[in-house]
Amino acid sequence: LVYNRTTRRSANSPGVEVRVPGFGETYSIEFLDYNKLAGYFYTMVQHLVNIGYVRNETVRGAPYDWRLAPNENEAYFIKMQDMVEEMYNQYQKPVYLLGHSMGCHYVLYFLNHQPQAWKDKYIRGFISLGAPWGGAVKVLRVLASGENDGIPMISSIKIREEQRMMTTNPWLLPAEDVWPEDHVFISTPAFNYTHRDYKRFFTDISFEDGWHMWEDTKNLTSALHPPGVEVWCMYGVGLPTPVTHIYDEEFPDGDPVDFVYADGDDTLDSLSMGLCKRWVGQQEKPVHVTEYRGLAHLDIVFHEKVLNQMQQILEGKSDVPKEVDVRLDVK
């Protein structure tokens, strides 16, 4: 992507067109590759099929260009609204929306831009899995020194160039009103960066476009206006999760050398994910929160206990436990 500071918009590189495959179908969210090596929503979709849902009919996918923050993805939301209305009209039942991680912010943005009467008619509920409601500390590391997510063939520094092009990374910086003013996200021998130091952070890592991207996107969902539909907010807790990245003098061109940990799902901290509790009492529709002790960020989309809980919600049993311990499984 190429970011234009004047228009405050991103565009594909000249001569390049990017298309998101399979909107309305499930194949491109079930697996992330054609060889079906990297599974994502496959286990969940198959679970739904096993209880009577039909792929591409009663269970559908809404994949999106996740390089772009919602303010640059207008056409996507039109397609999503059309698909919801089409499903409602075909089956005469309101629709459940389900998101994982950043996808939950996309769903929230979508719902925040719909009239309440539309939501009352077309949306039965919103199931949110592992959402970074208060932002993601990991994003600062991604922007500073890159993050190869454990893929040994790709160096973090090499992939950093690509990761900095995505407006979704600055969008998900930790929200200013959530974290203590003195919480250090990035610690270096020269400076400790809190959320008050974002401008300096972008200058010091030689990525000033990032500051503009953050200014463009920081208010899209950070206020966490309630979605106005019944919500089931589920996320993992009980796993050490980095909330401070410590660098040596190689910053920003070397990986962190140490971390400070807090509670979370190994990727997102529970402070951020638990902010959906704010909606209790802020909207008329119920808000249910379940914490899964010992459940990792990516595992939440295919863990048996989550899928069973989701099935119960879809069957109309809206009450859910406040905590589920997945460590008690006997294999």
Q: Which residues are catalytic?
A: 101, 265, 297
Please enumerate in sequence order all residues whose Cβ is within 8 A of that of 80, keeping only pairs 6 or more positions apart, or say none: 62, 110
Task: Decide if 266 contacts 237 (C-beta within 8 A).
Answer: no
Distance CA 286, CA 231 (A): 7
**Distance, C-alpha 320 to centroid of its chain:** 22
Q: Which of 268, 261, 239 is nearest to 327 (CA)?
A: 239
Distance CA 6, CA 90 (A): 44
Distance CA 257, CA 108 (A): 35
- CA distances (Å), 291 to each of 186, 223, 261, 305, 323, in order? 28, 22, 19, 12, 5
Strand 186-187 with 9-11, pairing: unpaired
Please enumerate in sequence order all residues whose Cβ is within 8 A of that of 19, keeping only pairs 6 or more positions apart, or say none: none
Residue 318: strand, helix, or coil = coil
Task: Decide if 188 contacts 247 (C-beta within 8 A).
Answer: yes
